[in-house]
Structure 1
Amino acid sequence: MGFEVAMDRDEKRRGASELMDQTAAAVGEAVEEAEAAVEDATRAVSGRFHRFREYIRRNRLLNTTWRIGVFTVGVTVLLGGLVMMITPGPGMLGIIVGLAILATEFAWAKRALRRARAAAEKAKEKALDPRARRRNTILGVAGGVLVGALVIAYLVIYEFTLPWNIVDYTPWTKD
């Protein structure tokens, strides 16, 4: 009786294993079909774009208009990246995207894009350097402590008075 139960359990396991193998094969086939469909769609879209771009290149006025449009969009994104270098935002990303847009039409932008990518790679390596990270952490903590000390000094001097309610801004003439 115990032997029959063990055989029945083994048959159930084999059945489950076969079902899992069949499911894995079906999923693999579905993935292959999806990859083929994506590749076909990519070829169709890129083929259409290349035909469209060749049509524009043959017409001098359209080509000039296209290049002016690419230049305008690329320079706008590039300038946005430069502004974000001094204001909050992903400045390097904006610069690289702007150069990538320009590089679709201009050889000088391709060279600049290669240099910008190399500079971004160097900056990444430098940021991941343990000594630089430790230094930046120390500077950040020191800056936070300094700002905290200034806020506390302000609150002590002006006795928790909001700035727009202060009558006399000179703390040394206080009685």
Structure 2
Amino acid sequence: MTEKPLPQAPTRPEETSPEPHFFRRLHTRMHANPVTGLATKVVVTVVGIAVILAGLVMMVAPGPGIVAIILGLAILSTEWSWAERALDRAKEAAHNAAEKARNMDPKVRQRRLVASGFGVVLVFAAVTTYVVLYGWPKLAIAGWNWVQGLSGVVPELPGM
């Protein structure tokens, strides 16, 4: 894996980094000693990967998954050049998606919103029909009973 070179003091004002001077000094100071440099790299890597994994979970669960993935890449990019390149690609993709959404024909946007709403209603109707015809799934009941065992404030399921 390629490491980012240690930041050098800028020679001209136009070469200054966009990150604040404090963070450049802190990064240089942390990497001046091999032990603190390694510890910093390990901690930043663990935290960055944890944030990315949380973002991946949020892609299927409620939450700002894309934002968390980009934040994780930003954390990793402080130590790894491959993460900086991936962050640049992610920023570019996010910018392109936002631009595409801004330039979308209003009629197409309206059709997509109506189709999405119809899909939500269709899934809700299918789940409701399943529950009415077959009752609560056994897995859901077993899971709810397990949650109730963890905490006494969880209410009983309706009809149980």
TM range (shorter): 0.5 to 0.7
1:58 is paired with a residue of what secondary structure?
coil
Higher RCO, 1 vs 2 (CA within 8 Å, ≥6 residues apart): 2
2:110 is paired with a residue of what secondary structure?
helix
Aligned to 2:135: 163
1:105 is paired with a residue of what secondary structure?
coil
- Count, aligned residues: 115
The 2-side partners of 1:72 and 1:83 are apart by: 16
Q: CA deviation at 1:63?
A: 0.3
Unaligned runs of 5+ in 2: 1-19, 137-160
Please report the TM-score for the alignment, with normalisation by the length of structure 1: 0.54
The 2-side partners of 1:149 and 1:74 are apart by: 40
Please say if 1:133 is aligned against 2:109.
yes
Q: Which has the higher helix share?
A: 1
Please report the TM-score for the alignment, with normalisation by the length of structure 2: 0.59
Please say if 1:66 is aligned against 2:20.
no
Which of these two proteins has the greater Rg computed from alpha carbons? 1
Unaligned runs of 5+ in 1: 1-45, 165-175
Please say if 1:91 is aligned against 2:61.
no
Would you say the 8 A contact 1:92–1:120 is kept in 2? no
Percentage of matched positions with identical amino acids = 43
Q: Which has the higher mean CA deviation after the structures are superposed, 130-139 or 61-70?
A: 130-139
Coordinate RMSD, CA, aligned: 2.8
Q: CA deviation at 1:107?
A: 0.9
The 2-side partners of 1:142 and 1:91 are apart by: 24
